[in-house]
Amino acid sequence: MNNNIIILPIIIPMITAVLLIFFNKQEKVQKYLSAVSSVINIGISVFLVHYVHTNGIISLEVGDWKAPFGIVLVADMYAILLVLTANIIVFACLLFSYKIVDYNRSKFFYYSGVMFLLTGVSGAFLTGDLFNLFVFYEVMLMSSYFLIVHGNSKPQLRETIKYILVNVISSALFVISVAFLYAVTGTLNMADLSLRVAELGSSGIIAAISIMYLIVFGLKGAIFPLFFWMPGSYQAPPAAVTALFGALLTKVGVYSITRVFTLIFLQDIAFTHTFIAWLAVLTIIFGVIGAISFSDIKQIVIYNILTGVGVILFGVSTMTESGLEGSVYYMIHDMIIKGLLFLLVGIVFSITGTTNLEKFSGLIKKYPTLGWMFFIAALALAGIPPLSGFIGKLKIVQGGFEQGEFVLAFVVLLSSLLVLYSVMKIFINGFWGEEKIPQVRETSQVKSLYVPAAFLLALSLFYGLGTEFISSYIKQAEQVLLSPDLYIEAVLKE
């Protein structure tokens, strides 16, 4: 097979985004083009997952410049699974947007913004070069700047200023970190960097640079204490945009940490990965504290993003087979379930006009489908067996025990109960109890909003109940993270 197919998950949404600009006043054309593009991208991603599973890692040397001198795109199982998941979530969010984004907003390039966001996310997952990782970050961030302010409400404008300021600073630090690493190693190709950094050994300068990258990606991924910007920024935009942000943006930061600290910065695991483990656990603690403290259902789900990020990174920090496998499982689960929960929150808002639990209750009487969908999603989020969050968290905790991190692993385990409490609070107070709905919409008016949420819920159920079917794919992704030589050989053709 010609490896040029690797670039299609990046090129297709980019071309679609450009085409949509010319049809900004033709809403039906925008919907049709974005949907067709998304379905095609899902099909290509499924094909790539199968091909990588059968034939191993594939790479593309752009412009036929040999690695490590040219730009390289790499599709290993970890990256391509995340690309597939991202495309599925974008498709669901597009379907949701078709019902809640009116013409007055869509004509101002809303769907172009979504497609450019997908371009940046897919590029970040597939690039094999640190500088191009920065480039795709900027594509993703510029799209997110546009989407967060799209609608022009006062909260959106206020939070956009903070969001842009934080990301401009982190981008500047990213460039500085890239420059330092290039000055020390003379390369930015990730596979080549792995070899060069290993040759340098455990030096102070490499340790300092690794911490700089942890700060950069920690700001993007919202790990402790760098998550301060996220609750307000994710609260401001509408549900479909928040679903994209919660499912994709922080996960790109988590993916970047996972990639560089399993491939490049392995010279002093006792220091770097122990540091990541403690940051992960602190992120979990602050996430659950925020989730159980708020009575706003959107804020509860937002703070649960932090908990998910912490759980994933704790699995990465163990550098064990179980921990890394659990991290991959949980990463995909968390992307799906966070997208689902934000869409369900969006449906609640479209019915009641509020996300404050103190202002509504008893929704399940008029909207039983919505209530039970939320109940199942809540159980999956908490990791109740046999739903999608269970196997990943179980493996991560096992990895912590194997490393002797009993206290930290126990915190990860305990977080499941607190996460369950935070989302059951929504179900008990918002869906159960005396019926109190500020505004009532007919069930028929919100039925169409159930479709994308039901799609993600079905996918989550399949992911949890079909663990045996997908385990070989997850195992292959974990092997690349645990054995960086597989990645290096595929890229450098050694």
Q: Provide the pLDDT confidence category of residue 137 given band limits of 50, 70 and 90.
A: very high
Rounded to the nearest 10°, the torsion over CA 289, 290, 291, 296 is: 150
Burial code (b: 16+ CB inside 10 Å, e: under 16) for 135-146 equals ebbebbbbbbbb
Is it the case that residue 63 has pLDDT exceeding 50? yes
In order, the DSSP letters of 112-173 are HHHHHHHHHHHHHHHB-BHHHHHHHHHHHHHHHHHHHHTT--HHHHHHHHHHHHHHHHHHHH
Element (H, E) at 106: helix 103-106
Query: pLDDT (tens digit, 9 = 90+) per residue, 254-297?
Result: 999 999 999 999 988 989 999 999 999 999 999 999 999 999 99
Cα 86 from chain centre:
8
The confidence score (pLDDT) of residue 24 equals 85
Beta-strand pair 58-61/72-75: antiparallel
Is it the case that residue 134 has pLDDT exceeding 60? yes
Cβ-Cβ contacts under 8 Å for 127 (sequence gap 6 or more): 71, 72, 73, 74, 133, 136
Whether the model pTM is above 0.85? yes
Listed range (60-69, 237-246, 477-486) with the worst mean pLDDT: 60-69
Burial code (b: 16+ CB inside 10 Å, e: under 16) for 93-128 equals bbbbbbbbbeeeebeebbbbbbbbbbbbbbbbbbbb
As a whole number, mean pLDDT of residues 1-5 equals: 70
Which residue in 20, 51, 60 sits closest to 37, CA to CA?
Answer: 20
Q: Provide the pLDDT confidence category of residue 444 given band limits of 50, 70 and 90.
A: low
Is it the case that residue 27 has pLDDT exceeding 50? yes
CB 14 within 8 A of CB 115: yes
Q: How many CB atoms lie within 10 A of CB 410?
A: 14
Straight-line distance from the first to the last Cα atom of the chain, in angstroms, rounded to the nearest whole number: 20
